[in-house]
Amino acid sequence: MADNAAPVTLRARKFITNRLLARRQFVLEVLHPSRPNVPKAELAEKLATMYKTEKARVVCFGFRTQFGGGRSTGFALIYDDEASQKRFEPKHRLVQSGLETKVDKPSRKLRHERKNRAKKFRGTKKTKAAEPAKKGK
């Protein structure tokens, strides 16, 4: 079976210090010969110690395991501070890292059905049409 304590080698390629977005960005190559893959949380922890920053400022995404295993390649960003991270990161990645809460909204199909029901009315009746249809008949 896979050994979770097996050594993992991290290699940063195409390292750029992006002053405009207040971050360091690079392609991250992960060598994990005796493991199927490495969790992003573990990668973020290792990168935080390598680059002397907090784990919360490190964002890892887009990892693909090479055919045959043993190597994965993805992208990593290390933000200078939380304010710049909140400003420049996409909302879905902020939700993943726990900096923002997920917006609960009805399903896409339900939204479209409500919209189309409301199209059939004018004025104040539109709000009544937007309510879910009553089941009975």
Q: What is the pLDDT of residue 17?
A: 96
Contact (Cβ atoms closer than 8 angstroms) between residue 57 and residue 78: yes
Distance between CA atoms of 66 and 133, rounded to whole angstroms?
Answer: 50
* Residues 6 or more apart in contact with residue 65 via CB below 8 angstroms: 36, 37, 71, 72
- What is the full per-residue pLDDT of the chain (137 aa) written as tens digits? 556 778 899 999 999 999 999 999 999 999 999 889 999 999 999 999 999 999 999 999 999 999 998 899 999 999 999 999 999 999 999 998 888 898 898 899 999 999 998 888 888 887 777 776 666 65
